[in-house]
Amino acid sequence: MIELESVRKRYPAPQGSGWFDAVHPTSLRIAQGEIFGLIGQSGAGKSTLLRLINLLERPDAGQVRIDGQDLMQLDARSLRQMRQKIGMVFQQFNLMANRTVAGNVAFPLEIAGWSAERIRARVDECLEIVGLTERARHYPAQLSGGQKQRVGIARALAPHPSVILADEPTSALDPQTTQSVLDCLKDINQRFGVTIVIVTHEMQVVRALCQRAAVLSAGRIVDVVEVQGSDITTHHAQTRALLEEA
Ligand SMILES: Nc1ncnc2c1ncn2[C@@H]1O[C@H](COP(=O)(O)OP(=O)(O)OP(=O)(O)O)[C@@H](O)[C@H]1O
């Protein structure tokens, strides 16, 4: 379970004087095993809110709790251990060009001090889950965008996380490849019960993948919608506008 309690993040104002709230004090609960979307226009604060969940951005106020543990109270070592439970997937994949596919997936396990034997077995397992067993010895430059993102997902999954945070994971991909990456995330959620929080600006992605989604505007959650089948019902004007755009 992810609990955000009045989290706030301020940055220096672009004009140079004072500060502005990229995320106004915001509370949100995401259940274990849920697929939850953060949707909104560019600059709404989606990525910032996502990065507050694993303290990649430290809140200026409020609390972040994962499975009841207050992340702000953890020392550096305990926070590193806690981050093993929170995988991350990025829009631009963030793969290491000089490592093979297998080497990229192995990386977080090496950092965590796993034995070579356990790493080999887990890398094989994760590459099979994302359908890239045949590509283990290839380098990122030899892969398509969708394959690169599936490597990113395998890497996030490798340390057995309970949560995966995905920041616009399909924005760099064409529609067909997008579907295969969304299917891959859905499969991981269903098979292993991993909670997924996904940032997107596309209502299609929310419809295809999420059970609920928060609509962000100017640093605030203005609506939380439920997705039933692929139907979204809302009475909120901003959400309706996003639905009409889609
Ligand atoms: N490190 C930073 N320093 C200063 N301002 C920042 C920083 N990170 C984000 N911002 C600002 O905070 C606001 C929210 O940014 P954020 O990236 O969270 O929005 P977003 O909804 O994810 O947008 P996008 O879809 O364009 O990525 C924006 O105005 C952005 O310029």
Residue 28 and residue 26: Cα distance in Å, rounded?
7
What is the percent of the chain where pLDDT is above 70? Answer: 100
Residue 14 pLDDT more than 90? no
Q: Is the pLDDT of residue 17 over 90?
A: no
Average pLDDT, integer, range 183-200: 97
Q: Which pLDDT does position 140 carry in this prediction?
A: 97
pLDDT for the residue numbered 87:
96
Tokens (6 digits) for 129? 């889950």
Sign for the CA dihedral angle at 107, 115, 137, 174 comes to: negative
pTM equals 0.94
Give me the residues paired with residue 19 across strands: 12
137: CA distance to ligand 1 center in Å? 36
| Nearest residue by C-alpha to atom 29 in ligand 1 | 43
Residues 63-87: tens digit of each pLDDT = 999 999 999 999 999 998 888 899 9
Tell whether the model's pLDDT for residue 246 goes beyond 70. no
Q: Is the pLDDT of residue 25 over 90?
A: yes
Give the C-alpha separation, 134 to 100, whole Å. Answer: 12
Q: What is the ipTM of this complex?
A: 0.95
Per-residue pLDDT at 93 exceeds 80: yes
Residue list, ligand 1 pocket, CB within 6 Å: 11, 22, 40, 42-48, 201
Q: pLDDT per residue over 139-184, tens digit each?
A: 999 999 999 999 999 999 999 999 999 999 999 999 889 999 999 9
Ligand 1 pocket: which of 9, 47, 203 to mutate (most atoms within 8 A of CB)? 47
Q: Choose which CATH entry (1.10.10.1590, 3.40.50.300, 3.40.640.10, 3.40.630.30) describes domain 32-61+74-245.
A: 3.40.50.300
Site to substitute for ligand 1 among 7, 46, 220, most atoms within 8 A of C-beta: 46
Contact 56, 220 (CB under 8 A): no
Given the structure tokens 């004007």, which residue do they identify? 237
Domain ranges of the chain: 32-61+74-245
Distance of CA 232 to the CA centre of its chain: 21
Which DSSP state fits 133?
G
Mean pLDDT of 110-128: 97
